[in-house]
Amino acid sequence: MFLTPERWTQEMIRRGIDLKEVPNPLAPGPDSKPTAEDLAGLGFSRERLERLQIALFDPHRFPFRYEHHDTLTAAEAFTRREGNCLSFTNLFVSMGRSLGLPVTTALVKRALASEKEGDLVIVNNHVVAALQDGTEWLYFDFDQRTTERPTLIQPLDDLWITALYLNNRGADELRAGRTEVALHLFDYATRLAPRFPATWGNVGVAKHRLGDIQGAFDAYSEALKISADDPTILGNLASLYRSIGKEQEAREVLRTVKIGNATPNVLIVRGDLELATGRTSKAIRLYKRARHLAPELADPWVALARAELTRSRPERARSNLLRALKLEPNNADALELLRQLDQKPAPAKPH
């Protein structure tokens, strides 16, 4: 599970990874060890890590700016004092190991494990730092956006940690429109953690974007071999079928999605398909479920606005769009729909 820097380098080379492109996400930053010793103090492992986490959250002791979409290595996060929850976790694990503590990273399940981009869902899995204390796993969460308790902890070895870092970096590139760069990073991630379904799913998203339909099908097939009922993968597979005009196949795939396990974004994708096939009431129920699961997301409100427009209810649509923009003022879909509504001529008044 724990690799020395030398062993990590050997494993990267053995898997064909260009070390100029992939830094070790757990390599310590300059002066990080004395900083960790100062913040953690003395005591048992659990006590030291708890003190370290508290100190890292204290802006007076360790000023750190949380950036949702900025995936950094431990060294970069230490130097820049910023990053997302994965960057923060990498930093904590690296600092904990510098104290001689066997802390690692664990993959956990959360409702908000993905982001909707158009009709596709990009997977950004959440991770925590973890320490085995006897038969119990202790975890240290660095996601400051939610109080939801994570479940299904899966401790990761250092190759998985690197793959997760590459997966998130790839998602950043995909979001920025640099699809080929994203696919390159996802490919590296699959070499390091071939049993990681989320990365195979993101390979499918990238290949779909690049027009490689068969490549996308192959990637989703690899993902489903590992996690046959993954709602995000199934949702993207349905979108792939729909993009080539196979609506029936898309509906059949979505019927296999267990609604109780679906993320809000997958519920929106499924609702979009129902809306496209004229099942507006069913789509609205799915959108409302997504809104219930993620009241802080703008996307369910935008989806509800689209549904109201299909029912010729522009004022209800406008109300939903305004709610979406209150949550996310720069939401492009909401702004575009609102612009279209504002351009439509008002209905003629009866004489």
| pLDDT 10s digits, 211-263 | 999 999 999 999 999 988 888 888 889 889 989 999 889 888 887 877 776 77
**pTM (predicted TM-score):** 0.78
What does the domain layout of the chain look like in residue ranges? 1-210, 229-290, 298-342
State which CATH number among 1.25.40, 2.40.40, 1.10.1740, 1.10.3470 fits the domain covering 229-290: 1.25.40
Per-residue pLDDT tens digits for 298-316: 999 999 999 999 999 999 9
pLDDT above 50: residue 297: yes
Q: What is the mean pLDDT of residues 105-115?
A: 66
Q: What is the pLDDT of residues 148-199, one digit of tens each?
A: 566 657 888 999 999 999 998 998 898 889 999 999 999 999 999 999 998 9
Phi, psi of 122 (to 5 degrees): -90, 130
Side-by-side strand order, sheet with 104-109: 136-140, 126-133, 104-109, 151-156
Q: What fold does the segment set 1-210 form as a domain?
A: C8orf32 fold (3.10.620)
Give the residue among 276, 316, 271 at the shortest CA–CA distance from 291.
271
pLDDT digits 0-9 by tens, 122-162: 655 678 898 888 888 888 888 755 555 666 578 889 999 99
